[in-house]
Amino acid sequence: HELLAEAEHTAMSTPNASSSILSGIQLARGVGELGVDHPERAYAELRRVFVPTDPAYQRIQQFWSLGYLADAAVLIGRREEATSVVDSLSGLAGPVPSPSSIVPVEYARAVLADDASAEGLFRDALDGAARQYPWHQARLQLAQGAWLRRQRRITESRDPLRAARGTFAALGASTWADRADQELRATGEPGWRPASIASRCQMSSTGSLSTTASPREARATMASRHATRYPRFTKTAVST
C-alpha cells in the first residue's frame, strides 16, 4: 500500500500521464482486494477506472480492469451494473480488436451471464483469444469450474479446477491456486500440497501444463513463449 500511495503521489504530479498511472494503481488495488476476499472494496477500487469524472478514468486500461470488475460484481450482487459496463466497452474495441480487449470482454460476459447462456460463453471464451495466455486461461477455468459446481455438475467441474490450480501454482500465484483448491475441496476432492504440485509443473510444446521441472523453470518457459508470440500483450498477462 505504501508503494501504491507513492505511485499515486507521483501520478498527481505528472499531469500528462496521471490517468494512465492512476488507472494502473486502481487495477493493482482492485486485484489485491480480490486476492484477500474483499470484493466490495475491489469493486469500488476498480469502478473508478470507468467513471469519466474520476482522475483514474482511462479508456485503454478499462479493458485490463474489466474481468476483475466482473469477478467482484458477481460476488456482491452487482451483475447488472457490470454488464452495462461490458456492453459500453464492447463498442470501443474497434473493427479488428486486439487480444487485450477481446480476452477481458469474453471473460466478463461469461462470468456475468445467466445460467441459460453461461455454458456456451465459457466454451467460446476458453476456445478464443485467452487460449494463448496461461493466466487468463486459468482464470476462465477457475470461473467455469466454480459455475459447474454451483450447477451441481460436480464431476465436470473438477477438470477445469485442477487445470486452473496447476497453472496458478506454476505461475507462483498462490492465492489464486488456493482459491481453485478451495473450489475443488467443495466438490469432495481431497486437498493438495501446492509445493509438490508446483515443483512438477512445466509447459509442454502445445502450451499446456505437464509434469517435471521447477516452478521457476515453468514460469520462465511461459514468459519466454508468450513474450515471443505476443510481446504487446505479455505485460498485461503477467502483471495481472
Burial 69-107 (b: 16+ CB within 10 A, else e): bbbbbbeeebeeebbebbeebeeeeeeeeebbbbbbbbb
Work out the percent of the chain whose per-residue pLDDT is above 70: 69
Strands (E), the chain: 201-203, 209-211
Give the chain's mean pLDDT: 79
Please, what sign has the CA dihedral across residues 101, 103, 104, 110?
positive
Helix, strand, or coil here: 201?
strand
143-159 confidence digits (pLDDT tens): 999 999 999 999 999 99
Least confident of 9-13, 38-42, 63-67, 180-184: 9-13
pLDDT of 90: 79
Q: Is the pLDDT of residue 64 over 70?
A: yes
pLDDT of 113: 96
DSSP letter assigned to residue 157: H
pLDDT of 95: 61
At residue 20 the predicted structure's pLDDT band, cuts being 50, 70 and 90, is confident
Mean per-residue pLDDT for 87-97? Answer: 73
The alpha carbon of residue 47 and the mean position of all alpha carbons in its chain are separated, in whole angstroms, by 16
Least confident of 25-29, 40-44, 69-73, 234-238: 234-238
The alpha carbon of residue 104 and the mean position of all alpha carbons in its chain are separated, in whole angstroms, by 8
What would you report as the CA-atom Rg of the chain, rounded to the nearest whole angstrom? 18
167 vs 160: CA distance, rounded Å: 11
98 vs 232: CA distance, rounded Å: 10
Query: Can you give the pTM of this predicted structure?
Result: 0.75
162-210 confidence digits (pLDDT tens): 999 999 999 998 889 999 999 999 999 886 665 444 444 444 434 444 4
Q: Is the pLDDT of residue 129 over 50?
A: yes
